[in-house]
Amino acid sequence: MTSCIICGTSADDRVCELHEEDVVFEFRGTKPGQLTSGRYYRGTVDGFADFGIFIDIGERVTGLLHRSELDSRLESIELDSGETVYVQVQNVRDNGNVDLSWSIRQDRSRFRGALVDDPDAEETTLLDPEENNGSSVVRTTAGEQQPSGDSDSSRGVEDDSTSESPADTADVDSTEAGDAAVDDTDTDSTEEDSEQADPTPSTVDELGDLVGDSVSLEGELTGARQTSGPTVFTLRDETGTVECAAFEEAGVRAYPEAEEGDIVRIEGEPERRRGDLQVETEGLTPLDGDERAAVLERIEDALVQRARPDEVQTLGEDPAVAAVTDEIAEVATMLRRAVIEGRPVVVRHAGTVDGYVAGTALERATLPLVRELHGRGDAEYHQFERRPLEGSAYDMDDATRDVTTMLTAEQRHDEPVPLFVFVGAGSPESVDGFDLLGVYDAERVIVDDRPVDPAVANTVELTLAPDEQTTTTALATAVAATTDPTVREDLRHLPAVSAWTGPSESYGGLAASAGYDPDGTTVLREALALVAHYQAYEDKRELVSDLLFADDADIGLAEHISEQYRTRMDTAVETARANIEHHSLNGQTVLVLDTDAYTHQYEFPPTGLLLDELHRREDTAALVGLDRDGCLVRTTSDVDIDDLVASAREHAPEAALDTRSARDGHVEFLAGERDAARKALLDALATELSAPAA
């Protein structure tokens, strides 16, 4: 264990995790596998190809700087073979290929330290100044080394030769370094004091252009966490959020008077760490009175104005969607505001094709805003999550998992409470789950294709649920296009994909304009149904995106998966047909399939999807799939499942019949009373089917 050369905290390899990207390494190994991903290395240009630039990292290892990592066209890059460059190792592949990315710091003096990466050495050593064009080096009070011509008095450079270890003094002449530091401080202190006294007012969205400058920010502290080195504050203003690192002493809380929720002014210097912007804090002042009120008002006004969409964007002609444009605008505003405020967005959608497509539409529209405002590498996975449900109800198992995840993220990473959007999951069976989230003040929004029960509506902040018939995807695509109009063209085919019984003429026309004929949308639908079955709790983000947003309607991947869907579904349907019981109830045919005996419970297709397909193929009034302790009901009539269960319960009270999910037609009972439950349900179904339409 040694000390970080930047901040002085304990570190395993001369630099702590927080400051690893402030240091450049010289590689003296001989194999690609000896490189450390994430580190910056000094390299030399070896050669050029159509797809990028080959960079030598050390004498015997070469990596590729792909053209996609360059800010300008390859042919316009002014680099010569043998020229020194600074790159970051992104990945070392199993075959020895090394993927590199470009460092914005193409000057040794831009790094705050330099180390030797020698796998054969017992410990990491400082890079000899003579190996860096002979530049002299000074050490800061935090242990930092800098070329003397680029010292930074704002970080308190002074002579600390008395505290240097023997290893340090072997590389640095402490007397010379101290003299250089003192001279530099005397020369620049007046100028820098003047700059810090009246820094240029800035907003978070401007910081990318102000790296290395002194800035002042005003906003709300939305988090503060203590690391083994600095204290990291999260500041939110009217344009976004940024982390601000303040160093008092290793592991000691800086500015202990500052608390979450305070309105503060922070002075410091923006820098990039691991690709993310961070402000090195030099001063933090809590604001009160008129100053506090002015900042709060500015933030709120700007958030409302920025989050509210210019207009509602709908796709196709759909009366149900047109009737709820105000609610569409409100949902889009809540989505946009959550992203702007740095709150994660969690989309919980039904595990059906309609749920997947609708949830993915919201994902497609929200991710660009996440990337724009929170540009760190993992932001789109960190700030937006799509979590499929097993069915169409948000039960206590789902809610407990979400609350546990939310509280863990809050405790470990100081994350704010997410905005939860429930897509196709607004059934009464979800109330208890919604209530549990409400205990922790989580905002909840429902987007559903059918009216929401008042008991459900009272547990959430907003519902988007029209009275007229449509699909959840039709609503979600309208919300998505309103959230980000630039993705509207990407969404045109989605409402047609989600409709098993065929889309409306309007949505079918939109799909055709996007290059998808009816066969094409069927292929996507079937492929997505199969993909949704496997790893049911995973979002499968990249795979689903590849299926739904293939370039130029190239559905080769979807066709491959769709073929598997048809083969497995046809086999399951034929097996089911051979074992179906036919019952005549009040002159209508009802089919009963013992799914416990004649389906593979954990293989594709799942029971619900199989029954849906059977019901579409068979000309029958109703189909019942009877399991060991429950059943699924499919009807062509508007049968109320709750009424059906209530009626059956009267004839088989000992069976403990209950509705598990009215939307899914899922009824449960005691396995020991299966025969009694079966008879009572069929009798009740005969009554419901023969009842006149309301």
Q: What is the pLDDT of residues 91-115, one digit of tens each?
A: 998 878 899 988 878 888 888 888 9
- Strand 98-102 and strand 61-66: the pairing is parallel
In sequence order, what E strands does 94-214 have? 98-102, 113-117, 125-126, 137-139, 145-147, 200-201
Q: What is the pLDDT of residue 274?
A: 65
Pick from 172, 140, 179, 129: nearest CA to 8: 140
246-262 pLDDT per residue, tens: 988 777 889 999 988 89
Helical H segments across 449-606, by residue range: 454-457, 472-483, 494-497, 505-513, 518-533, 541-548, 556-577, 595-598
Task: Please list the helix, strand and coil fractions of the chain in percent, rounded to the nearest 5, in that order.
Answer: 40, 25, 35
Look at 48-57, 612-621, 674-683 and tell me which has the smallest mean pLDDT.
Answer: 48-57
Could you tell me which residue, 448 or 227, shows the higher pLDDT?
A: 448
**The total number of residues written for the chain in this structure:** 694
CA–CA gap between residue 558 and residue 548 (Å, rounded): 8
- Name the token pair of 615: 């019901």
- Band of the pLDDT at 333, cuts 50, 70, 90? very high
Helix axis angle for 289-307 and 325-341, nearest 10°, is 130
CATH 3.10.310.20 residue ranges of the chain are 579-690
- Say which range, 90-99, 394-403, 460-469, has the weakest mean pLDDT: 90-99
How many degrees, rounded to 5, is the angle at CA 269 between CA 260 and CA 368?
Answer: 70
| Superfamily (CATH H level) for 2-192 | Nucleic acid-binding proteins (2.40.50.140)
CB neighbourhood size of 538 (10 A): 11
Reported confidence tier of residue 130, pLDDT bands at 50, 70, 90: very low
Confidence of residue 377 (pLDDT cuts 50, 70, 90): low
Report yes or no: 276 and 247 within 8 Å, Cβ to Cβ. no
User: Is the pLDDT reported for residue 125 higher than 60?
Assistant: yes
Q: What pLDDT, on the 0 to 100 scale, is given for residue 126?
A: 83
Per-residue pLDDT at 154 exceeds 80: no
Q: From CA 564, how far away is CA 528, in angstroms rounded? A: 11
Contact in structure between 54 and 63 (CB atoms under 8 Å) = yes
Strand runs (DSSP E) across 410-527, as ranges? 419-423, 443-447, 462-464
Q: In this predicted structure, what is the pLDDT of residue 191?
A: 44
Cα–Cα distance between 417 and 237 in angstroms, integer? 18
Report which of 461, 454, 504, 489 is spatially closest to residue 320, judged by C-alpha positions. 504
User: Looking at per-residue confidence, does 481 or 248 come out higher?
Assistant: 481
Percent with pLDDT over 70 in the chain: 86
CATH number of this structure's domain 313-490, picked from the four choices 3.10.20.600, 3.40.50.10490, 1.20.140.10, 3.40.190.10: 3.40.50.10490
What pLDDT is stored for residue 693 in this prediction?
52
For residues 195 and 351, give the distance between their C-alpha atoms in angstroms, rounded to a whole number. Answer: 57
The pLDDT of residue 160: 35
- Which tens digits make up the pLDDT trace of 405-462? 999 988 877 788 999 999 999 999 999 999 999 999 999 999 999 999 999 999 999 9
**Torsion angle of the four alpha carbons 271, 277, 283, 284, in this order, in degrees rounded to the nearest 10:** 180
CA 127 and chain centroid, separation = 39
For the chain, residues classed under CATH 2.40.50.140 are 2-192, 201-286
Burial class (CB in 10 A: 0-12, 13-18, 19+), 665: buried
Whether this model's pTM surpasses 0.85:
no
The Cα 671–Cα 629 span in angstroms is: 4
Among the ranges given (183-187, 241-245, 266-270, 373-377), the one the predictor scored with the smallest mean pLDDT? 183-187
- Cβ-contact 9, 142 below 8 angstroms: no
Q: What would you measure as the largest C-alpha separation in the chain, in angstroms?
A: 104
Contact between residue 96 and residue 53 where contact means Cβ atoms under 8 Å apart: no
The 3-state DSSP class for residue 386 equals strand
174: its two tokens? 């402490």
Cα separation values, 98 from 38, 54, 84, 103, 560, Å = 12, 10, 18, 15, 32
Q: Which two tokens stand for residue 674?
A: 């299966």
Ordered alpha helix ranges (H), 484-555: 494-497, 505-513, 518-533, 541-548
In the predicted structure, residue 244 carries a pLDDT above the cut 80: yes
Read off the pLDDT of residues 627-680 as tens digits, 9 standing for 90 and up: 999 999 999 878 889 999 999 999 999 999 999 998 899 999 999 999 999 999
Give pLDDT, residue 172.
35
* Between residues 150 and 617, the one the model is more confident about: 617
Give the pLDDT of residue 366.
95
Architecture of domain 579-690: Roll (3.10)
Lowest mean pLDDT among 78-82, 211-215, 386-390: 78-82
* Nearest CA-CA partner of 565 in 613, 493, 627: 613
Q: What is the mean pLDDT of residues 229-238?
A: 87
Q: What is the pLDDT of residue 520?
A: 92
What per-residue confidence (pLDDT) applies to 569? 96
Task: Calculate mean pLDDT across residues 170-189.
Answer: 38
- Residue 73 confidence (pLDDT) above 80: no
**Residue of 51 and 548 predicted with greater confidence:** 548
Which helix (H) or strand (E) segment holds residue 283: the answer is strand 276-286
pLDDT band at residue 338 using 50, 70 and 90 as cut-offs: very high
The two structure tokens encoding residue 621: 């009034």
Distance CA 620, CA 602 (A): 27
Q: Which CATH number applies to 201-286? A: 2.40.50.140
Which of 473, 561, 478, 572 minimizes the C-alpha distance to 524? 561
Q: What percent of the chain has pLDDT over 90?
A: 54
pLDDT the model gives residue 692: 58
CA dist 610 → 104, 273, 519, 572 (Å): 55, 51, 20, 7
The rounded Cα 530 to chain-centroid distance in angstroms is 23
What count of other Cβ atoms lies within 10 Å of the Cβ of residue 690? 13
Q: What is the mean pLDDT of the chain?
A: 84
- CB-CB neighbours of 284 under 10 Å: 22
Q: Considering only 113-117, 138-142, 179-183, 476-480, which range has the smallest mean pLDDT?
A: 138-142
**Cis amide leading into 605 (omega within 30):** yes
Q: What is the pLDDT of residue 642?
A: 92
The whole-angstrom separation of Cα 144 and Cα 7 is: 7
Per-residue pLDDT band for 376 (boundaries 50, 70, 90) equals: low
pLDDT, average across residues 560-580: 95
Q: What is the helix (H) or strand (E) element at residue 23, kind and residue range? A: strand 23-27
Task: Determine which of 80-89, 193-202, 678-687 has the lowest per-residue pLDDT on average.
Answer: 193-202
Residue range(s) in the chain whose domain bears CATH number 3.40.50.10490 = 313-490
Q: What are phi and psi of 393, to 5 degrees?
A: -115, 145
- Least confident segment among 56-65, 433-442, 677-686: 56-65
